[in-house]
Amino acid sequence: MLVGYVRVSKADGSQTTDLQHDAMVAARVDPERVYEDHASGAKDDRPQLVACLKGLREGDTLVVWKLDRLGRNLRHLVNIVHDLTARGVGLQVLTGQGAAIDTTTASGKLIFGIFAALSEYERALISERTVAGLASARARGRKGGRPFKMTPAKVRLAAASMGQPDTNVGDLCQELGVTRQTLYRHVSPTGELREDGRKLLSQHRGK
């Protein structure tokens, strides 16, 4: 069964999902099986996406207009598709640069595998840079005392590490030099950015 998901960034009526719904109809998705959110892609709170993912069953295919309608970022997208694949659910992208992705086909799986590899590479780079920075700080005598505040690099490392089955939260906090309370204020246990984490990264990008 084909199940669609559509999204626009603004809920004030200035954007519509008409184009996406038309694409769903053209792809033979039953209009009654299309979930719709009006929220920024960066937001965690997308209730219809949660309902959509929860309602998918083995043998179903999730259809989206473009990749950016589904995932907040590459890591989030890869995690969603890995979960769907494990449940026997496919993903089909109708247009945009991800239009070649259809995980129900061999070629589509190969292309998405490249996305997954790039996401893993990105996480490895972030981790490597952050560890190197922390080691440099320790070499300059920054040891003990009051825990350091979160930095953009620490937030990225925490997001990449949290939710991984082999991550020990206590060890991660020690490596970052922050308390559990500070860590969880910025990143959820599953690795999703919370409001403080998003604000910190946004402020850093604006400088």
Residues marked as catalytic: 9
Cβ-contact 4, 35 below 8 angstroms: yes
Cβ-contact 54, 65 below 8 angstroms: no
SS3 74: helix
Q: Judging by beta carbons within 10 Å of its beta carbon (0-12, 13-18, 19+), is residue 160 exposed, middle or buried?
A: buried
Reported for 109-118, long-range contacts at CB under 8 A and 24+ positions apart, including other chains, are 112/81, 115/74, 115/77, 115/78, 116/78, 116/81, 116/82, 118/74
Q: Which residue has the tokens 């949290």?
A: 162
